[in-house]
Structure 1
């Protein structure tokens, strides 16, 4: 079987072919629900599925590359083929995707002097190792070998970042060197500058846009005089950020733009078909002068909602696609409300999470110097009554401060805060939280923690002790712990825990009675919640649950007015007005 880019469009086995695709990121969907989402992709009328490969999802530690369970890219591609779907794979190494560090491992970006997304040998050598690990999985599944992979992307919207053609050609050589023989392509925002900077004349250029399809395709055609026109990211919604509104777009307006695109004969990839969830604190962040972390929910107002149920855009897009291509008669069932119930939570002393050993520094270290993969770290230093206040050059991203065991306030990067008042002498203890690694623009790859120096009213604070918090071990700390009475308000940081029975169906955890923190179900980290909104529920995939004795652990960092786990019938993603 063959797939090629011809002067008059795509050709599959020599016959004209139009790609009608949708993005579905396997790392944002529980693997036991991949099959359901792929079936619904076919029911929408899609013939192709598109996914990024998040390097850091497979390689959180240097020297490892995991492909088991949730990370089984090969199984995901095989399931797509079983549903009659071709596949487009976008391995980066940079993916953006509103994902932690844009998919780049933190052990990589923490290397002194490394220059990501360039021809820097440090970066290209690591990328070559990544490709050697992941691309054989893709190569074995190319259409040229009897599989379903029809195209592979080189980099991702590079024109918004740089213009180093030699770097892009180095990636092409590395990709081809791993046996990839299907067409390669680049994608960039559909404007003249980015299409010029981000593409190569020998590769197919594609565009990204979500409106004004005719105008955007005309721009793309100026840069791609022959061959197929393709919108690789048809933005049919948008992501949400903490403290902002839930983004939605009108289904009929988006459908009209999709109709214009297909009527022009172009190929399309819906971004997103199904957004899913940033499980495990893998959300990214943006910083264009103001740091804005992305929510746990990646619903995206996509045709398939965060829980996989069809939304208004599913039906509107299905009707549009049916005008241009065959659509299966079978349609997905509609959303069924989830069970509603409450679970009492006992709570335990938060000091159980404190690390047993600390590293000592004569200066204020950045968190990445200790463990670039850590989400939480504890900093300690001794202060005197004369110090009065401590000021940091920068906080990345949130600090909960204590003098001995007394809470003394918090500092939020999102508010450009940098100072804490010191009410007296004692041990200053700071719990520092990474709210999300920047995934776009100049601050990509920046380190986390406290950026020094740290100064008080009278001196620079030195002699610091720092330790990473192993948040993966926190659920075990509630086993056999003495709990305080349930139901009454509690001050954080505090570990809350309880058990419940369930029938293996999807659930929605209501977080409206809590401040901010993280949640595990049966030891699996769902992600972060925050009263800043917009969302006030967390999606709990049914495959995580068993009929009896499910555990829920909440690490509340601020305060909870009613520490009860309340499960509600449907998702609450927040207000939609800015």
Structure 2
């Protein structure tokens, strides 16, 4: 182009020619590939969830992905992570998506964005906000206006933020997924997908590549694809590559072959064995797909952690994370990562230089806890009164725990069944009479238990929300007591319902142990315990093990690390990132034990996850044995 600049003094006309540079990312249907700035392009990508990694470690994880040889990352955006309360949008701190995108850009990584509004991701309710369930008849992921209106409002906010980050606008987002694996959902509502298509085009423009991802079946591809959205497929190491890409070709006869989720690992369920996918299978299939010219995204590349209450669940089981990914839960390179890097070397030049090392770990030793709180004191606004039980969503208590309290309507001197006749326990209920723990009721598996007592005795039901279903037809997963409880032949009524705000109590320091040493005795049933991890001058990563404890939640300082469930496993330690700790101040440790605390009431901070010590610890019989073993192994014990 020509630009004319006037000069003062003698009138002179100067012509300056500027070279303009146009950025573009598109699909070349003639040559069956992507084009980046007019040249053929193949992406080698890995999935990373910023919501499962502390902000302080985002750069570390991204750099390790870049040094492996990846040229792109794939990113989910969980709607409920950013709009926990309807109409209140949070993009600060660990939710600063634009900061994350900028770090990826600085690192040299392109971005494949998957903004949903539904994402699955083994994440609470598949990323959909629980407040949607206040509408009792809402049909999620459909053209139902009760769903479509808030979903469109969310996308208007998010996509407006994302438009400047599109590659053609100077950013690093090369493509954007519309919805997520919609073909696996029962609704198969093309009007819904057409509406989303219109919304995405409205806010992102006509140039960006919009795509869909679906599983490797005809039904999923039929219901999940739409004209105008490029159809990609996903599959793992147990699949015939040729057959899978032939299926993609039936829906996209021309254009690049794309596996949007190549499974390098798999998700873990409480109560099952640790899931794993063999490195040799991952390497072999990755090489074969890249040789075919396919673009591949590895799911997951960094699994991260389900902090807080963000885990999803299936219809029958609850997830925790890590995913047997090439980068471990703590972000450490694994043999799988090194094998993947060796494959990528055959197809593109990888960055020169060493792989960033694992973050430093430290074994801080034992911390003794004291019993500090009864649960009904953690409902600052007091109880809600209701003749019959109310669900979490009806009281706007979306996560965590709620205490239901009533009295026994008559004497029950003999063991009498307490029944949830319609499977209305969502998800676990811990039952006490006059403060004495009676036992557990659990969704689908334990819907009857016996209690005894006298008329007027206080009956407490602490209900735990263990995460909402994130996949399939049952994502409208309400929590709490969803139906009446029956004691013998009596329907229990006149409930006082306490929404518990344990996280705020922890953050405000209300649950610190009595330092005088006059602690309450441990016992059965739900109870909170607290202690202090003294400062050591270090704030390194560590892992907390709760040997002898049963099930509950752990907080370090103000951060909810997530759930432990030692009786079911396989996970036996919780990852504690160094940024959650103070090197100079005492660190407050809070544990909510739901069933029974051990008599020693000690927890252990180790420098490695439990899985490396499973066989050894299983052979140890007591707390003293563990301490002896650790000292003998040269580990620091406080």
TM-score where L is the length of structure 1: 0.95
Counterpart check, 1:529 vs 2:564 = yes
* Alignment correspondent of 1:306: 329
Structure 1 residue 349, shift from structure 2 partner: 3.4
* Alignment correspondent of 1:559: 596
Distance across 1 between alignment mates of 2:519 and 2:368:
6
Counterpart selection for 1:517 from 514, 533, 552: 552
* Alignment correspondent of 2:250: 222
Distance across 2 between alignment mates of 1:314 and 1:331:
13
Q: Please show how residues 353-368 of structure 1 align to structure 2 within 5 Å.
A: 353-355=377-379, 357-368=382-393
Counterpart check, 1:438 vs 2:469 = yes
Given the superposition, is the C-alpha separation of residues 336 and 99 from structure 1 closer, same or farther in structure 2, using an over 3 Å criterion? closer
* Alignment correspondent of 1:3: 25
Structure 1 residue 427, shift from structure 2 partner: 1.4
Given the superposition, is the C-alpha separation of residues 372 and 175 from structure 1 closer, same or farther in structure 2, using an over 3 Å criterion? farther
* Alignment correspondent of 2:400: 375
Q: Please show how residues 94-173 of structure 1 align to structure 2 within 5 Å.
A: 94-161=118-185, 162-173=187-198
Distance across 2 between alignment mates of 1:333 and 1:86:
20
What whole-Å deviation, never above 9, does each CA across 1:182-210 have from its counterpart, x for those lacking one?
11000001222211110013221111111
Counterpart check, 1:508 vs 2:536 = no
* Alignment correspondent of 1:467: 498
Counterpart selection for 2:430 from 386, 391, 400: 400
Structure 1 residue 473, shift from structure 2 partner: 2.2
Moved more, 34-43 or 348-357: 348-357
What secondary structure sits across from 1:286 in the alignment?
A: coil
Asked if the contact 1:345/1:496 (under 8 Å) is kept, the reply is: yes
TM-score where L is the length of structure 2: 0.86
Moved more, 494-503 or 75-84: 494-503
Structure 1 residue 171, shift from structure 2 partner: 0.3
Asked if the contact 1:515/1:559 (under 8 Å) is kept, the reply is: yes
Distance across 2 between alignment mates of 1:92 and 1:280:
22
Q: Please show how residues 178-577 of structure 1 align to structure 2 within 5 Å.
A: 178-180=203-205, 181-211=207-237, 212=239, 213-287=241-315, 291-295=316-320, 298-335=321-358, 338-340=361-363, 341-351=365-375, 353-355=377-379, 357-383=382-408, 384-386=410-412, 388-392=416-420, 393-394=422-423, 395-413=425-443, 416-425=445-454, 426-475=457-506, 476-479=509-512, 481=514, 490-500=523-533, 501-502=535-536, 503-531=538-566, 532-548=568-584, 549-561=586-598, 562-573=600-611
Distance across 1 between alignment mates of 2:224 and 2:177:
12
What secondary structure sits across from 2:304 in the alignment?
A: coil
Given the superposition, is the C-alpha separation of residues 483 and 553 from structure 1 closer, same or farther in structure 2, using an over 3 Å criterion? farther
Moved more, 153-162 or 487-496: 487-496
What secondary structure sits across from 1:101 in the alignment?
A: helix
Distance across 2 between alignment mates of 1:203 and 1:324:
28
Given the superposition, is the C-alpha separation of residues 449 and 569 from structure 1 closer, same or farther in structure 2, using an over 3 Å criterion? same
Counterpart selection for 1:12 from 28, 36, 50: 36
Structure 1 residue 490, shift from structure 2 partner: 4.7
Asked if the contact 1:346/1:483 (under 8 Å) is kept, the reply is: no
Moved more, 541-550 or 213-222: 213-222
User: What stretches of structure 2 of length at least 5 have no aligned partner?
Assistant: 1-22, 616-638
Distance across 2 between alignment mates of 1:405 and 1:514:
20
Structure 1 residue 333, shift from structure 2 partner: 4.2
Given the superposition, is the C-alpha separation of residues 265 and 529 from structure 1 closer, same or farther in structure 2, using an over 3 Å criterion? same
What whole-Å deviation, never above 9, does each CA across 1:242-269 have from its counterpart, x for those lacking one?
1111101110111111111111110011
Structure 1 residue 23, shift from structure 2 partner: 0.5
Counterpart selection for 1:37 from 22, 41, 61: 61
What whole-Å deviation, never above 9, does each CA across 1:31-62 have from its counterpart, x for those lacking one?
01000000011111100111100000011111
User: What stretches of structure 1 of length at least 5 have no aligned partner?
Assistant: none
Moved more, 477-486 or 252-261: 477-486
Given the superposition, is the C-alpha separation of residues 257 and 243 from structure 1 closer, same or farther in structure 2, using an over 3 Å criterion? same
Distance across 2 between alignment mates of 1:497 and 1:516:
16
Given the superposition, is the C-alpha separation of residues 52 and 389 from structure 1 closer, same or farther in structure 2, using an over 3 Å criterion? same
* Alignment correspondent of 2:12: none
Asked if the contact 1:346/1:496 (under 8 Å) is kept, the reply is: yes
CA-based RMSD: 1.9
Asked if the contact 1:488/1:563 (under 8 Å) is kept, the reply is: no
Structure 1 residue 343, shift from structure 2 partner: 1.7
Structure 1 residue 65, shift from structure 2 partner: 0.5
What whole-Å deviation, never above 9, does each CA across 1:302-342 have from its counterpart, x for those lacking one?
00000000112101111111111111232324446622222
Distance across 1 between alignment mates of 2:73 and 2:139:
32
Asked if the contact 2:52/2:307 (under 8 Å) is kept, the reply is: yes
Distance across 2 between alignment mates of 1:354 and 1:417:
27
Moved more, 548-557 or 76-85: 548-557
What whole-Å deviation, never above 9, does each CA across 1:503-542 have from its counterpart, x for those lacking one?
1211111123311111111111111111111101111111
Distance across 2 between alignment mates of 1:488 and 1:244:
33
Moved more, 300-309 or 491-500: 491-500
Distance across 1 between alignment mates of 2:46 and 2:165:
19
Given the superposition, is the C-alpha separation of residues 482 and 353 from structure 1 closer, same or farther in structure 2, using an over 3 Å criterion? farther
What whole-Å deviation, never above 9, does each CA across 1:536-563 have from its counterpart, x for those lacking one?
1111111111113121111111112232
Given the superposition, is the C-alpha separation of residues 459 and 482 from structure 1 closer, same or farther in structure 2, using an over 3 Å criterion? farther
